Amino acid sequence: MAERPAGTPGETPETSGKSGLTRTLVKFARYTAMRGIALLATVAIGVYISVWIANMGGYVDKLRKAQIQEAVGIQFRGPQYRDMTPSERRILMNDQMQREIERLGLDKPFIGRSFGYLANALTLSLGRTERMTSDTGSKQVRAVLLERLPTTLVLFGTANLITFFGSLFISMFLSRRYGSLLDRASVALAPMSAAPPWFYGIFLILIFASLAGILPYGGMLDAPPPETTLGYMLSVLKHMLLPLLAWTLATIPIAVYARRTFFLIHSSEDYVELAKAKGLRSNTIERRYILRPTLPTIITQFALTLVFAWQGAIITETVFQWPGLGRLLWQAIGLFEVPVIIGSVVIFAYLLALSVFLLDILYALIDPRVKLGAEGRS
């Protein structure tokens, strides 16, 4: 991890009293702020690299110059220029174009302008789209992108929560029944995660939509959309079932396998044996002696899987025609909508950073070392 919470050497944490709480809070706030800044910096570097890739070795500049030329051309078609000779008009047009290019800084080297692009990209002020429009009719890239954000968040927020808590409970349950048929079955099923969610999606569509005909092929709403709020929600839920199932099939087996192994290794630790010897209830042992110390590591692992999860969303949405960011990106590729493609990269970088940030806060809440400000994080 990037930044470590700085702890003053020799400082001992207060065990009780108000000052202990404030000190913890201050440390916590400092940790959160440092993590936030570090993550923002990484996002900025990532987006800056994307800006260089998207410039395509000067191709974008050519594209923008062509746009200027077109705009100037249209401008000079007006009636007030009708009396001019073609050569006069051409000189005037070239002049105007030159001024416009200078105004936008297109005559300067790319490296200088790249920082301006970075700022624009980070604030999503990417101008107007070329062909795509948002459902409300706006041609602003920001509007097109932000309109699709909630649908993606709903589907993949739910999906990731299911994966996280599902795998946690299942692996807890299995490690308790170590060696049982179910346990061995879960180990045998782990290779299922080799295939990505969209792959299971195609099979699920085949079974539930084509053959059985009980669930929709894709999309998010019935046509026409139901009028009541309840009907609307049920319709969305119905369309979410298959993507969620596909996601679960692909992500849960490996997650269960990893956590189960982890729990099993930890349940043979000495302090767990001691707790058992003390005659504590198995529930308490699991919660306090196995889950509690392993949770920080599990959260770190989950943060890493989340990084891949947002990207898996792109194809899963495409296969299920879920009207989210992923499908938008896919459509943008088809239409060669450069601003939307770059905007999607930025949004995905933000999503990644945000999810890692949230998990970091959770980590800080759980890991006592962070609260104490000890140099304990690896």
Select 81 or 336, whichever has its Cβ closest to another protein. 336
**Residue range at the interface with another protein (CB under 8 A); choices 43-51, 73-81, 135-143, 271-279:** 43-51
Give Cα 251 distance to the centre of its chain: 16
Residues 345-364 that bind another protein (CB under 8 A): 345, 348-349, 352-353, 356
Binding-site string for another protein from residue 289 to residue 328, where x marks contact by CB under 8 A and - marks none: ---------------x--xx-xx--xx--xx---------
Q: Which residues contact 105 (CB under 8 A, 6 or more apart)?
A: 112, 113, 116
CA distances from residue 377 to 31, 37, 133, 369 in whole angstroms, order as listed: 12, 18, 47, 8
Contact status: 191 vs another protein (CB under 8 A):
yes
Q: What is the 3-state secondary structure (H, E, C) of 208-269?
A: HHHHCCCCCCCCCCCCCCCCCHHHHHHHHHHHHHHHHHHHHHHHHHHHHHHHHHHHHHHCCC
C-alpha count within 13 angstroms, C-beta hemisphere, residue 244: 19
Q: Which of 32, 42, 158, 297 binds another protein (CB under 8 A)?
A: 42
43 binds another protein (CB under 8 A): yes
Cα distance between residue 226 and residue 233, in whole Å? 9
Decide whether 72 or 344 has the Cβ nearer to another protein. Answer: 344
**In this complex, which beta carbon is closest to another protein, that of residue 23 or of residue 113?**
113
- Is there binding between residue 10 and another protein (CB under 8 A)? no
Q: Residue 200's Cα: distance from chain center in Å?
A: 21
Structure tokens at 168: 């946690």
Q: Contact residues for another protein (CB under 8 A)? A: 1-2, 38-39, 42-43, 45-46, 49-50, 53-54, 56, 59, 187-188, 190-196, 198-199, 202-203, 205-206, 209-210, 217, 257, 261, 264-265, 304, 307-308, 310-311, 314-315, 318-319, 329-330, 333-334, 336, 338, 341-342, 344-345, 348-349, 352-353, 356, 378
